[in-house]
Each structure stands twice: as C-alpha cells, then as structure tokens.
Amino acid sequence: MSEFTEGAARAALLLGLTASPAAFGQAEAIYGIPPVEVPEPCDDLAALEPRAMMGRLTPPLDACLDGRLAEVTLSDADRRRIEELRIVDAWASGEKERWHGFASSFAEAHPEEADLAYKLALFELKRAEHAASLRWCEVALARQEAWTGETRLHRVYRLYATRAKAAAGVAAAEPGDEHLAAARRFSREWATYARDHGKDAGQAEALCAQLEEPCEQR
C-alpha cells in the first residue's frame, strides 16, 4: 500500500476526514481516478482507496466488494481492508446511517480501534442513543493509551463530557437510583478532569447542578 493510501484511508476511517469537492479534479489528476463510474473488478483494493476517500465507490464496485466478503477463501487482511473501504466511502459520501452500520460492526469485531470507538461515542450521542454512546465511551477510554499529547488530552476530555451527557440521558429515560448515581459520578469526574487539565469546567459543573451533585471547586 502506498504512503498516500495507507495514511489517508486510516485517517478517513478513524476520524471521518474527507476530501472537499474542489479536490476531486486534482485527486483524479494525481492518483489516476477516472472521472466516470466504471464497473471494473475490485481485486486491487489499494487502487480503490482514493475513490473511497471521496465517497465515490460506485454501486457495482460496492456489490463487487460485498461479493468478495462472502468468499470463504478471503484472507483476514483483505476482509479488514474491504470493511475499512466501505466505512470510508459511506462517511465521505454523507451516508451516515450506512456508515454507522459498517462502523459499528467493525468496531464490535475490533475493539482495539480506539479512534473508531471515540467517533462512535460522539455519533451515538448526537443520535440520542445514550446507552450506545455510553458503551463506546467506555471502550475508547479503556484504550486511551493509543493517543498521546494534545490529541489524548482533547479526546479524553470529550469522552468524559460525552459519557456524562450520555449517562444523564440514560437516567432521564430510565429513572432509577443506579442510572442517576452513574450520571452523577460521571458528571463529577468530567468536572474534575477539566479542572485538573486546564479545561473549562463550566458545562460539567452545570450538569452536576442539574443532577444535584456537588462538583467541588479547587
């Protein structure tokens, strides 16, 4: 796999980065992407990665990839690459529900993918799927050593925030002492993390107040 395709495909898969429409022509010129949809075979997975980055896998190509996934002789490495291609393409093309289906299945099979668990946690919160968001927060936080420096600080902070908000959503939808206790604990931990790492704790403290949970000032 070339330096471009490996780096670009991973970024798109794990972070949801996409090329702008204005970059299509340039990418076609540089990477040799045909300007029209051609139902060619899908044996060369590396050649399909620039297309997937721009959400331009055609229905025939997607059907071809789906057929390859059904092959009992398909290697684990190629199966993974095909699944990643479809995740990249679905996000880049704006088909968020299709992306969600592909990404969730992939993350279930590969829980070590902290970046994808992180993205799913945020995505599920936006969909008000609070229990699912909460679960993906825990998966990502358990693998936070995958990140370093400012990236780790930023993502862990967002995961603490997302976890607290998701837990509050669960507590609101399913009243009970256990859910309320979890929401209070996570809101307090969010506030503590924010203060300890120089982040704004205002939203966390507001959630604490809403849940009638004291967030001690320092």
The residues, ordered by sequence, that sit 6+ positions from 52 with a Cβ below 8 Å of its Cβ are 9, 12, 85, 86, 88, 89, 92
Neighbours of 172 (CB within 10 A): 13
Across 13-27, 31-45, 107-121, the highest mean pLDDT is recorded for 107-121
- Total-model pTM: 0.78
CA-to-CA distance for 88 and 177, rounded, in angstroms? 41
pLDDT, tens digit, 9 for 90 and up, residues 142-189: 999 999 999 999 999 999 999 999 999 999 988 888 999 999 999 999
End-to-end CA distance of the chain: 51
pLDDT, tens digit, 9 for 90 and up, residues 6-19: 544 554 455 554 44
Q: Quick one: what percent of the chain has pLDDT higher than 70?
A: 79
**What pLDDT shows up at residue 100?**
96
CB 102 within 8 A of CB 86: yes
HSE-CB of 16 using CA atoms within 13 angstroms = 15
**What pLDDT shows up at residue 176?**
82
**What pLDDT shows up at residue 211?**
85
- The DSSP secondary structure of the chain, one letter per residue, reads --HHHHHHHHHHHHH-----GGGHHHHHHHH---SS--------HHHHHHHHHTT---HHHHHHHHHHHT-TT--HHHHHHHHHHHHHHHHHTT-HHHHHHHHHHHHHH-TT-HHHHHHHHHHHHHTT-HHHHHHHHHHHHTTGGG--HHHHHHHHHHHHHHHHHHHHHHHHHS--HHHHHHHHHHHHHHHHHHHHTT---HHHHHHHHHTT------
pLDDT, tens digit, 9 for 90 and up, residues 32-57: 655 544 456 788 999 999 999 999 99
The residues, ordered by sequence, that sit 6+ positions from 73 with a Cβ below 8 Å of its Cβ are none
pLDDT, tens digit, 9 for 90 and up, residues 53-105: 999 998 999 999 999 999 989 999 999 999 999 999 999 999 999 999 999 99
